[in-house]
Amino acid sequence: MTLIDRTAYPKFKQFPDPKELAELYTPTETEIKLVKTRTKSHEGFLCFMVMLKSFERLGYFPHPELVPIAVIKHLRSYLKLQDWVKAIPSERQRYNYQNAIREYLGVKQYDKPAQRLIAIAIAVSAEVKDHPADLINVAIEELVKERYELPAFSTLDRLVDHIRASVNNRLFSRISTGLSQVEQIYLDQLLSADALESTATLNLLKSPPKSATLSGVRQLQTKFDALMTFGDAKRLLASIARTKIRYFAAQGRALDISEFQDINLPKRRTLLLCLLYEAQIKTRDHLVEMFLKRILKIQNNAKLRLKELRDKHLTETSELLATFAEVLKVSKEATCATLRRGWLLIAVV
């Protein structure tokens, strides 16, 4: 998926269906009257109408050759024009028709004030958002709200790229300046290929958690201890939005040591700090998760053992009760026999 596809920048559908053509590209009576008053020929009539309906759909004037043939055929058919009537205006016609359409729709042409307007909106959003598509959408929303014509997508892309880089460079410089010498050395050492086993490294930051075995828990605890020798990284990132931290961490996770070395020092240390912070959080969460899994396993094993003991004791108890029942039966029979003999003796006497 290209960048433009991830934004809200309007585009033509190359093969619109009949329903879409009828809903989006059928001119109203008011529009037909407007176009008739501004044109003198069938060709001008069609060109103006194509430009008007295209602008209403897109919010900008596309090159005439980029308008889908299906749209032109639909308008030509609805306006009852011959097939030979062309829809490509001259440069002078385009200029005049564009001004007339802007006036009719109450839309302002994209200019320097519009650029300053969206530059401010992009700069504010870039403090929180980082993906170019999100920032381009902010610019589009602001232009539409203020009734401005949209510029070419490449114009928005270049502006967003410039402002985003400026905002991020300020963030990188601010974070890097706030690091102590010990913290700088720690972060630089993450990229060392010959670091000690007990020292945190880039590979350690990226390593996934082990299984929830006792050895896995011990290894994860060792990793967490190594990461926490830096201290709490959160306090150094307090001025950065959480969304930016996640993005910088993801960016750092995608780089290897040699790629990190090609990045300027403030950005490198900031990416490593964000990656370290994310690793601290995830490692702690995994430790808790593993601990809970271990406790749950112990609890389940205890339940199984308790059931086994109950079943075993139940069997023994059943056997004892059966034996006791036999004893009672024999005792009862013996008692009855004794009583009978006693009654016989009484009767004889």
Average pLDDT of the chain, as a whole number: 88
pTM, rounded to two decimals: 0.78
Rounded Cα distance, 209 and 290, in Å: 9
Q: What is the pLDDT of residues 101-133, one digit of tens each?
A: 999 999 999 999 999 999 999 999 999 999 999
Rounded Cα distance, 42 and 110, in Å: 30
Q: 273: how many CB neighbours lie within 10 A of its CB? A: 27
CA nearest 97: which of 52, 56, 57, 162?
52
Sequence-ordered alpha helix ranges (H) in the chain: 18-25, 29-38, 42-58, 69-78, 91-105, 112-126, 132-145, 153-177, 181-189, 202-206, 214-228, 242-253, 257-261, 265-348
SS3 129: coil
Sequence-separated (6 or more) residues with CB below 8 Å from residue 163: 119, 122, 123, 126, 135
SS3 11: coil
Rounded Cα distance, 135 and 141, in Å: 10
Looking at per-residue confidence, does 311 or 67 come out higher? 67
pLDDT at 69 over 60: yes
pLDDT at 338 over 60: yes
Rounded Cα distance, 48 and 316, in Å: 99
Average pLDDT value for residue range 218-229: 82
Rounded Cα distance, 272 and 246, in Å: 12
Rounded Cα distance, 327 and 321, in Å: 10
